[in-house]
């Protein structure tokens, strides 16, 4: 029984159900680290194999003419643009790696952790080529080897960056912030009580 103003006459109070707990920071950082390390390892190993197996051989058809393994050493950025600015791309990639490691400290959802893991793997994978491959540090050529019809040759790191971009767009459209808070249209609602994955 309740009084007219909504107070309980029996002393019982209605309690809102507790908000779903957010994933722990340690768990999210573990997810981030596992995704980044696994994807980075796949990228590095695939490039080593590509250089070893494709350097002196003809193209390898994987799915007919649709997917072909074709070795390319790319001194530029995506789509082989800016081939004269390899050092600039190397510096920008280094800054990007530092920025990702800075932002991941605030990660509050699994999807964001996975997205940043793929992003770090992709950026670090191509940066490794620029630092360690010929013709020298900061000027190294990135190893690309997946070729599709009417599309520039790419690698696993590029795939990781695109997966990350897709996941980030999904989170933006869902209104989920990096820290896991979800945007709400109700100004009276507390966004901290709406954790999201």
Q: How far apart are CA 135 and CA 90, in angstroms?
A: 13
Confidence of residue 80 (pLDDT cuts 50, 70, 90): low
Reply yes or no: is the peptide bond before residue 8 cis, omega within 30 of 0: no
d(CA 9, CA 139): 77
Q: What are the sequence ranges of the domains in the chain?
A: 36-181
Q: Which of 80, 88, 86 is nearest to 134 (CA)?
A: 86
Active site residues: 144, 158
Write a three-state SS string for 122-142: HHHHHHHHHHHCCCCCCCCCE
**Model confidence at 195: pLDDT above 60:** no
Average pLDDT over residues 121-142: 95
Q: Give the per-residue pLDDT at 193.
A: 43
User: Looking at residues 124-141, what average pLDDT do you find?
Assistant: 94
How far is Cα 100 from Cα 126, in angstroms, rounded to an integer?
A: 15
The answer to whether residue 20 scores a pLDDT higher than 60 is no
Among 14-23, 60-69, 178-187, the minimum mean pLDDT is found in 14-23
Backbone angles phi, psi at 4, to 5 degrees: -60, -35
The answer on pLDDT for 134 being more than 60 is: yes
Are the C-beta atoms of 144 and 174 separated by less than 8 Å?
Answer: no
């Amino acid at each position: 029984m309740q009084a007219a103003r909504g107070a309980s006459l029996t002393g019982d109070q209605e309690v809102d159900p507790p908000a779903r707990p957010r994933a722990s920071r340690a768990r999210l950082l573990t997810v981030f680290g596992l995704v980044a390390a696994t994807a980075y390892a796949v990228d590095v190993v695939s490039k080593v194999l590509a250089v070893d197996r494709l350097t002196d051989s003809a193209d390898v058809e994987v799915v007919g003419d649709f997917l072909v393994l074709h070795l390319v050493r790319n001194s530029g950025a995506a789509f082989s643009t800016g081939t004269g600015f390899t050092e600039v791309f190397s510096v920008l990639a280094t800054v990007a790696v530092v920025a990702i490691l800075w932002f991941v400290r605030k990660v509050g959802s699994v999807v964001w952790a996975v997205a940043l893991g793929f992003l770090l793997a992709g950026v670090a994978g191509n940066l490794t080529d620029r630092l360690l491959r010929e013709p020298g540090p900061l000027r190294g050529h990135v190893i690309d080897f997946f070729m599709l019809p009417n599309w520039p040759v790419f690698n696993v790191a590029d795939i990781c960056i695109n997966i990350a971009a897709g996941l980030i767009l999904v989170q933006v459209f869902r209104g989920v912030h990096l820290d896991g808070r979800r945007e709400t249209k109700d100004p009276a609602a507390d966004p901290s009580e709406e954790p999201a994955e």
